[in-house]
Amino acid sequence: MNVKQNRVWCLGKGLALFLLVCLLLSACTRGRALKRVEKSGKITVVTFNSPHCYYVYRDERMGFEYDLAKAFARFLHVDLKVRVCESWDELVHLLYSEAADFAAASLSITPSRSKTVAFSQGYLPVQQMLITHKNNAGIKNLADLEGKTIYVPERTSYEEGLRKLRQNGLDITIRALKDVTTDELIEAVAKGKIGFTVADSNVALLNRRYYPDLRILFAVGKSQALGWAVKKGETPLLEKINQFFDTIKENGTFDEIYNRYYAYLERFNRFDIRKFHERIQVLLPKYKKRIEEAAEAYGLDWRLITALVYQESQFDPMAKSFSGVRGLMQLTLPTAKELGVENRLDPDESIMAGVRYLRRLYDMYGAADEPDRLCIALAAYNVGKGHIEDARRIASEMELDPNKWSSLEKTLPLLRQRKYYKKSKYGYCRGTEAVFHVRQILAYYEILKRQGIEYAERDFEEQ
């Protein structure tokens, strides 16, 4: 046994011994976590730093798991503290050392993991999907993977699933890499550095919009579910977690959070994404400086404005719709006059006026929290603030929160129905299109926010 192997063997034995001691101690301290949380007024979540779990953008904390954890803290009427870890082993250590109360880290519930931690009910069904480059033709089913090499992070459910396939007779080479993330491997596939990797369906879907050359092929295992984890013996806290998921799935909060990160992606196909990336590369440089200046002048993110311009006109300064709106920002004639625009086809005038108008709308909806406020403002840009007021009134009548975008997603489409629009102050509205409009802008915005994030260059063959 060489030095490296000896070190790995010792670390593995050390971790096993640590877990055994923790399991024995937990038998004596069952149920302490919830009492500790209630007494201290705070709860600590351990998670991973990734687009699916937790990250910081423009000084704002984000992430699907983070938003769920934040909602759970509100459910318990306590504050949330976040601990970020880098591996499954570290996550388990933080749980059993009581440095964290629960784990919300996009964890698939597997038999092997369930031996170490206690899982909540599954809250999101996922499948492990095989991912490759669009040029990698001829892979239609598992049999076509014979002789292929698949890269995954080590000690993950992906590695576990691939080993089962190999045990069942599939001749594949598994490269389980240390200190590498799923997102890094997906990027490596997109750049042609490696041939194949595996990711949960939600992760694959999220990354496809950043890398239009990706192909999501097929499932390589049975459907699984994501769950939150606590150390064994923490039954009271686990029961609270399950109650929380039952509640937010019933009242719509779960769907609202899910839609924030994933639902908008499902409308994209590879052609949409490729077209967007191509136009961003070719046409954006012509207008980028003016967009940045206008965004800075009115306190908005230039990436948001870029997404809006693309959705409105696809960077065509001569664009004209059936309704008569014109230019890059698709301004109506009355709005253009109100904003002092002399020529709607002038890119500089159009951009500055459009950004000023969006900021005015944004300021109107200060009673709404983010991201609802932004969504409502974008919808108002598309259909007008009058129709938004009608949709908000209907929301109130339906006992929905008029300051929630999830409410207006339901009520705006109703303004196409006669029984609703005949009672509305501003009449008929193509509300379904407004909802689609907002979803598209948010999806483009997310792509632009992710651009420029580069992972360290790796030579995967040497690991």
φ/ψ (deg, to 5) at 46: -110, 135
Decide the pairing of beta strands 79-85 and 42-48: parallel
Cβ neighbours for 77, distance < 8 A, ≥ 6 positions apart: none
Decide the pairing of beta strands 102-108 and 60-62: unpaired
- CA 213: distance to chain centroid? 20
- Listed residue (180, 209, 212) closest to 197, CA to CA: 180
* Whether residue 159 lies in the annotated active site: no
- Listed residue (259, 257, 262, 225) closest to 242, CA to CA: 225
Alpha carbons 307 and 287: distance in angstroms, whole number: 12
Q: Catalytic one among 65, 312, 409, 446?
A: 312
Alpha carbons 117 and 103: distance in angstroms, whole number: 10
Which secondary-structure segment (H or E) carries 3? helix 3-28
Alpha carbons 356 and 339: distance in angstroms, whole number: 8
- Listed residue (401, 440, 449, 152) closest to 311, CA to CA: 440
Q: Are 126 and 226 in contact (CB under 8 A)?
A: yes
Active-site residue list: 312
